[in-house]
Amino acid sequence: MRSHQTIRAESTSPLARALGVFLGPAAAPVRSEQEVPEFAGVGMSPLFSLSPSSSLIKHLKREGYDHLRYFVALPSQRMPRWLLPVEDGSGMLPGTEIYLPHRWAPRMLKSMVIRMANLGYVSCLWPRVLLASKGPLRLETLVREVTGVPHPIFALSLGRRASVRKLTIQVMRPRAGANTNRGHGQAPYDLLGYIKLPLADVASERVRHEAATLERLWNFPSLRKHVPRLLYAGDWNDTYVLFQSPLQGDIGPTHLNGMHEKFLNLLWNAYRIEKPGKTLIQKVGARWGKVAPLLGAKWQELGREALVRATRAINDKVLPLSVMHGDFAPWNTRVRDKDLLLFDWESADWEAPTAWDMSHFEVLTASSLGKNSGHYTFDVESGGTFFMLYLLNSVCQLCEEENHEAISYRQRLLTEQLHQS
């Protein structure tokens, strides 16, 4: 039997925390058959093991655990980004669609996994993660109630930032009449949607906000083919769950082009309001005032100067404000039939300058992908005012995420902008 310290350490790891939320009533991980009665005896049917042995699996079956699901954590259990089902290769292949990276190293990792699955080398992926239950999981019951599908297949993705981490679950089903044997690629499965389960308090607020945003966006017919549909949202198992329809298509481009402009015009025209510039300055200033003391004297000086210049430039002007996605970036877009599709609406704002989404796209592609167009401001007439306000506003969110590298990058951009203006 393992020590209590070992159990506690495994139970609080990112992977164990995610699996506990996924399973519903969280149980500590088990490694040996002697531990099964200890946990099963208190009514906690769902269990998981990060190192399942053949003897443990046999014992679970004798104890009545009739639902056993196997996953592999990639790139590792210590640093998990995604969990793929490994019952067979064809189940793993569509699961890889939960992660469409732009960077070279993650693309190579994903390509390697796909090649192994296609060649039938799924058994080489180790160590396994085992999920066991007596009967369907609560999440499987929820999927059946929403979609009518009784036996969904799941692939899981964990966010990188612990302070805002959420579990994203790709929900699939075997296609009726299709051969799901290894080597038949992605065709045997249909994608039903994505479920989000927050793993932190800030993440819970963001998931709730995304659910409210999707519900509101669906009121605009012009946007419906571009955004996910809210299938279900509500309190669930002491947390909050969001279930949305999939957006299937090719990975989005890394440069702003006509598709981005067309979609953003649709978004801006769906909801538009005019307000005095001082309203925007006060809004950004209020958010900034909460984080500035945490960032040091240099940032406080930059923030004060940016707000002063914004006040001189737009305080008395009437501004058109509209819907902002808030994380408008290539990895949140797909392309289908020459239309841009956009998901991950958890940072949406209904009263923001139209330039902010474009600024965010270019800042993100420059910092993450090295694709710097040099056209950050999009508001030359105001001396870069909206770009400066965007930088302050985005830093407020980055402080929640504890993303210090991105905060430093924006400090450099704001310093350069103030020197140019």
Q: Identify the CATH class of 251-420.
A: alpha beta
222 half-sphere exposure, CB direction, 13 A CA radius: 10
Instruction: Supply the pLDDT for residue 184.
Output: 42
Instruction: Kindly tell me if the per-residue pLDDT of 409 is higher than 90.
Output: yes
- Contact between 151 and 36 under an 8 Å Cβ cutoff? The reply is no
Instruction: Supply the pLDDT for residue 212.
Output: 98
Instruction: Supply the pLDDT for residue 307.
Output: 97
Domain boundaries, the chain: 4-246, 251-420
- Contact between 242 and 207 under an 8 Å Cβ cutoff? The reply is yes
In this prediction, residue 76 has a pLDDT band, given cuts at 50, 70 and 90, of confident
Least confident of 17-31, 125-139, 220-234, 246-260: 17-31
Please indicate whether residue 90 or residue 298 has the higher confidence score (pLDDT).
298
Least confident of 54-68, 118-132, 164-178, 217-231: 118-132
Which one, of 259, 275, 276, lies nearest residue 267 by Cα? 259
> Residue 81 belongs to what H/E stretch?
strand 80-85
C-alpha angle 71/77/80, rounded to 5°?
Answer: 85
- Contact between 209 and 220 under an 8 Å Cβ cutoff? The reply is no
Instruction: Kindly tell me if the per-residue pLDDT of 70 is higher than 50.
Output: yes
Q: Quick one: average pLDDT of 96-105?
A: 73
Torsion angle in degrees (nearest 10) through CA of 260, 264, 266, 269? -160
Instruction: Kindly tell me if the per-residue pLDDT of 81 is higher than 80.
Output: yes
Strand order in the sheet with 250-251: 250-251, 333-336, 339-342
Task: Provide the residue type at 133 as one letter.
Answer: S
φ/ψ of 365, rounded to 5, equals -70, -30
Least confident of 92-96, 157-161, 196-200, 239-243: 92-96
